[in-house]
Structure 1
Amino acid sequence: MDATYMYISELTPGKVVAEDIFANTKHSILQKNTKVNYEHLHVLKAFNISRVLIFKDEDVPAPTEINGREMIIDVPVPAISPFLRYYEDGVAYLKKEFQNWQAGARIDITKIRNKMIPLLEIVLAERSHIFDLNSYSNPKDYLYHHCIATGLISSIIVQKIGHDRGTAIQMALAGMLADCGMAKISARVRDKKTALSEQEFLEIRKHPIYSYQMVKDLTAMKTDMKKAIYYHHERLDGSGYPEGNRDANVLFYSQVIAVADVFHAMTSERLYRSKQSPFRVIEMIKEEEFGKFDIKVVQALIDIVADLPIGTKVELSNMEHAEVMFINPYAPTRPLVKLYSTGEIIDLATVRQLYISRILPKA
């Protein structure tokens, strides 16, 4: 039967493993003929397995093979959630639209709005969905995932700050369309897997200009949101682009998109970088990028990500599972946690080499 190697970043639930997988272990961590589910994906990533041999769909062995060893080990795959269904539909639509924009088509803001509203309604009601956005993304289609995620995260931030639903909707649309100008960048440059030349980097930096040109005549989008798209790569310290503006000349809404953009980018797997923990990323935005972003916007994101009820089950960076026992108001991303394995209480604000890598699903 025919099989092919597939990178973990591209592997999806339902695929069937074509060989036993070992990771410096005596026994396999995944047996041949196992149907992959979400938990298997996490295990493979935990053991730094980069790719696995997968049966091609037309060559998946039938469950009635000769003996038990050859039968497919079918671990149930969780039913797709309404959010994920809307999300995947949005990504597929946006991927097609980028091709149309590249050919010169205009943005159909009504269709964009219709794709975003169902997602937005779910996210505004349950913010925890932002923790899953980076797991949906993949390096190949990162741009389309990033557009939708940036829009959703932007809307949650302004909601947290206290803005009304109308502003949250406008913010979602602006965040989603902030990188639409990438359609005007040569695919050779946009999809390049190696380091960009200086000239190519300068071309990439033009995308906010192209994005603004594409949205400036949209009557359904407010002027402030159009400006936010143009300025979303500006930084308060003047280190951004396209104009290198600073402080008062950097609009608030552009800072919302900027923070959402950086947060999703750093928590997602890219062609040149592995994804990082949301908790680690917001610490980096606050500490290492200090002075570049509006502190009010950064604090809103911190409050969203670090809103962990007592008893929340988490996984730490050393793969230990733990329970949140107490939230430190001065270091909300670093609570006191109790290890399930030993019962030890650890103050993550003190033990800096550890951090929360992800929230574990409820039992």
Structure 2
Amino acid sequence: MAENYVKTSDLRPGLITSEDIYINTIYPILRKDTELSPEHIKVLNAFSVKKVKVQERLVVKREDVYDDNEGPVNPDDVLAKIPMKQGDLQTRYSNAVHNYKKEFHGWRAGVRPDIAKVRSIVIPLLDAFIEQKKMVTLLNEFSNVKDYIYHHSIGVGILASAISRQLGFPKGQTLQLGLAGVLADCGMAKIDTAITEKAAFLTKDQFNEVKQHTLYSYQMIQDTSLLRQEMKLAIFQHHERLDGSGYPRGEKANQISVFSQVLAVADVFHAMTSERIHRSKESSFKVIEMIKEEEFGKFDIKVVQALHELVGNLSIGTKVLLTNGEVGEVIFVHRDARLRPMVKKSVDGSILDLTTNRHLAIEKVLD
């Protein structure tokens, strides 16, 4: 197949690159055999690339061709694609946290958990977040230190259902995992408040008592028929790790179910991205990177990747806030380091490659 160089100004979507393109970068900004999109051409212009070697063929996608015979548009389909306003979803979320808090206080007083009531509180919220999955990235903004324990339970439920949906689990399983996520820490109601509300770091004995919450949680929900047995096991195992470093039993690999792993990843991610008494929150992008690198071997990589795709996927043109307070626009996403793209700073137009500026990370995506 013939190949030739084409001026960047003459490039058009659908052309195929014939070689890797480097611009003083660790990774190529475009790889060989890339089908050019408008975003790719924008990147090439941003880096002042003068010409590109391409194959002499053009890919035309069926979805790019207008069809006069598509038929009438279903109004319900259009409405389903209109995103819910952030304020509306935050109100639903706040109401769920408030109602869960009342249930939790009852458990502290010795009231037996009403799983049906908890289910009625959270299932509509889980449905809303599944439909508007980009809103999952806002969970750390909804939370607060004072009521962290209640925000954490609701947040883990939302994340667990969203991750499982991203993994392709059936709707019934995603809602079951969401409910299990909300109830995973219900056993914390049986831990002395002098420990759970302690402002200073816990002693070893106090931390060992906190570790009992997985057993207490399982005991509190074991008789309900509204949770499947595998979900009850996931609640019991949500602090186990694949390398055996978790608790309560130090189980490993095949002894830990995928449902347990979904809860584990949701639990760790929400905890690390939320403000707590003993620790400041980290950015979602930095936490995913830490889970992938520093915690490697502890979590199912498929579950971690699903979380990455859910909250850490970036596209060219995305506006972002960096951890140093600067704002910029993503102009290139490395295939092998998707959490560390190239960002064009708004203030002066200079380009930061986050693969080489490791002290920086994306704080959050801006609307």
TM normalised by structure 1 equals 0.76
TM alignment of 1:87-126, pairs within 5 A: 87-126=93-132
Structure 1 residue 287 and structure 2 residue 293: aligned? Answer: yes
Cα deviations by residue, 1:183-227 (Å, 9 ceiling, x for unpaired): 011111111111212221111000000000011111011100000
3-state SS of paired residue (1:87): helix
Cα deviations by residue, 1:94-135 (Å, 9 ceiling, x for unpaired): 111111111221222222122212211221112121221111
Partner of 2:214: 208
3-state SS of paired residue (2:246): coil
Structure 1 residue 136 and structure 2 residue 142: aligned? Answer: yes
Structure 1 residue 164 and structure 2 residue 170: aligned? Answer: yes
Structure 1 residue 325 and structure 2 residue 335: aligned? Answer: no
Structure 1 residue 360 and structure 2 residue 354: aligned? Answer: no
**Does the 8 A contact of 1:325 with 1:336 survive in 2?**
yes
Cα deviations by residue, 1:313-348 (Å, 9 ceiling, x for unpaired): 101111111011122221111112111111112221
Q: 1:326, 1:121 → 2: CA distance?
A: 33
Q: 1:316, 1:105 → 2: CA distance?
A: 46
**Does the 8 A contact of 1:322 with 1:340 survive in 2?**
yes
Kindly state the Cα deviation for residue 310 of structure 1 after the two structures are TM-superposed. Answer: 2.1
Partner of 1:260: 266
> Which amino acid in structure 2 is aligned with residue 321 of structure 1?
V
1:238 corresponds to which of 230, 236, 244: 244
Structure 1 residue 270 and structure 2 residue 279: aligned? Answer: no
Kindly state the Cα deviation for residue 80 of structure 1 after the two structures are TM-superposed. Answer: 7.0
**Does the 8 A contact of 2:330 with 2:343 survive in 1?**
yes
2:311 corresponds to which of 289, 305, 311: 305
Partner of 1:337: 343
Q: Is there any run of 5+ residues in structure 2 with no aligned partner, and where?
A: 1-84
Q: Which has the higher contact order (CA 8 A, sep 6+)?
A: 2
Partner of 1:34: none
Q: 1:317, 1:142 → 2: CA distance?
A: 23
3-state SS of paired residue (1:133): helix
Q: 1:198, 1:119 → 2: CA distance?
A: 37
RMSD: 1.3
Cα deviations by residue, 1:66-89 (Å, 9 ceiling, x for unpaired): xxxxxxxxxxxxx97221111111
Percent identity at matched positions?
51
**Does the 8 A contact of 1:86 with 1:115 survive in 2?**
no
Q: 1:169, 1:83 → 2: CA distance?
A: 18
> Which amino acid in structure 2 is aligned with residue 323 of structure 1?
E
Q: 1:330, 1:125 → 2: CA distance?
A: 29
2:223 corresponds to which of 217, 228, 246: 217
Partner of 1:155: 161
Residues matched between the structures, number:
283
TM normalised by structure 2 equals 0.75
Q: Is there any run of 5+ residues in structure 1 with no aligned partner, and where?
A: 1-78
The runs of at least 4 aligned residues of structure 1 exceeding 3 Å deviation read none
Q: 1:336, 1:213 → 2: CA distance?
A: 49
Q: 2:320, 2:132 → 1: CA distance?
A: 18
Cα deviations by residue, 1:126-180 (Å, 9 ceiling, x for unpaired): 2121221111111111000000000000111111111111111001000000000
